[in-house]
A = this chain, B = another copy of it.
Amino acid sequence: MENLALSSYLDANKDRILATLLEWLRVPSISADPAHAPDVRASAELCASYLRAGGFERVEILGTGTPEDRGAPAVYAEWLGAGPGAPTVLIYGHHDVQPVDPLEQWTSPPFQPVVSGDRVFARGASDDKGQVLMQIEAARGMLSTRGALPVNLKFLVEGEEESGSPHFEHLLESQKARFSADVVVSSDSTMEAPEIPTTTVGCRGLVAFDIELRTAPVDLHSGIWGGTVPNAALYAARLAAALHDEHWRVAVPGFYDDVRELSANEAAALAALPFDEQKFCRQAGVKFLVGEEGRTPRERTSTRPTAEVVGIHAGYGGPAMKTIVPATANLKVAMRLVPDQQPAKVAEAFRLWLESQLPAGVERTVTLHGGVLPMVTPLGHPALKCLSRAMEKVWGVAPLYQRSGGSGPEEALARVLEAPVVSLGIALPEDRFHAPNEALSLPQLWRGILAAGELLVEMASLGAKQ
């Protein structure tokens, strides 16, 4: 390992790093809840203070959005001491956290972090404060022990990722030159297991539909009208039920038209990932699996497109019973997309399908959400090779390549900044992203700091943009 200095730094600083993490985790920076806006602000300020303490020169809290539609603050920092000949790396992460519901399932309060064994329990521990701090401390360690970094380094730590990054692309576009980088490193993902390092090389796109149906001005009495008037709840249910065919393929005509099959390399990388169906079911808490016939669960969750019913709400939902024929219904459907599907084209196919399913007298409004493109980093990309070597130095084996089934801001980073995105994610599946009792493994954090340092060393070999 080249980076012995960082290892010594770590030995001397673990207590301080842990204390810093716990301090940050005490701030309930829930971006989805407007009541927590001051906490999101406080979280940004703490993040900025950590970057300043780490030796970064231009640390700034960036407002996002527009005067009409304010977003949550992001944090920016840079160290450009490696000079114009060296490549520039932009680290991406986020300092906001998911809501905590259902609160009663937490063993300890979500914003009173508890260290138990080698794990830290708190909302945001792994998603994503722990992983952002990992990057900050790697840079701080290298700056304090070597006096310099091998590359120019920028940090962009978002405050709205858990709300779907609504203003992130606008932020990137509006200050594109400032964020310009040769490569983006995202630290907001998981690896397979502590001894099976993996790295995320792509994520799916997203397009979602909010469908309102109406069959009458008001709910109708089922004793008077039932059996002969259209029922909005029934039409919503029929839409949802018609979404997949008997082979669990999405039944929208044209949906699969632009799906690119995996290359031989990609297929081999996917097949190399371990999969234990019993463990997978246990982790999800489900008793059986479903999904597109002829595809493995791994494919179905990462390299195949899907359509999920996110919600369906119509009629009476309270205790006991009412005798009504519901007049309105809401159906929400979210589709995950893979290369080369285009959100706009899929949305058009969905609209046509919807029209074909509903009788003329059912009023319908379809609102589009999302519109995120899928993204894949080519497996042969030099930046990915740097990442692979860095992780191998720490974990002893090269990481396997996985694709995320989710849809993050990575696609916007790659597209707007015209840079490859690689992921150094050290969270584990058992860290319970978005769920009660979210945790972070401290051994993973320490390894992650070393790997983040190794990654900067490796990336020094990449050329700078002309």
Contacts and interface: CB of A to CB of B under 8 A. Distances in A.
Contacts of A210: 320-321
Nearest to A225: B284
Main secondary structure of the interface of A (DSSP, over half): loop
Interface string A395-409: 000000000111100
A282 B120 CA distance: 63
Interface stretch (A61-69, A234-242, A263-271, A341-349): A234-242
A12 interface: no
Contact of A227 (B102, B300, B330): B300
A241 B234 contact: yes
Interface residues of A, number: 86
B321 A332 contact: yes
Given A217-B285, A228-B301, A336 B222 contact: yes
B310 A316 contact: yes
A322 interface: yes
Contact of A218 (B102, B208, B222): B102
Interface in A308-329: 308-317, 320-327, 329
Interface in A370-427: 370, 404-407
Interface stretch (A20-28, A133-141, A287-295, A447-455): A287-295
B287 A361 contact: yes
Contact of A310 (B222, B224, B434): B222
B326 A286 contact: no
Contacts of A231: 290, 308-309
A129 B151 CA distance: 84
A226 B327 CA distance: 30
A435 B313 CA distance: 22
A433 B233 contact: no
Given A234-B309, A237-B238, A240-B241, 16 more contacts: A215-B287, A218-B436, A222-B334, A223-B336, A226-B306, A227-B308, A227-B336, A230-B286, A234-B243, A237-B240, A241-B242, A286-B361, A288-B361, A310-B324, A317-B330, A321-B332
7 contacts: A206-B323, A216-B285, A225-B301, A226-B308, A227-B336, A228-B297, A311-B317
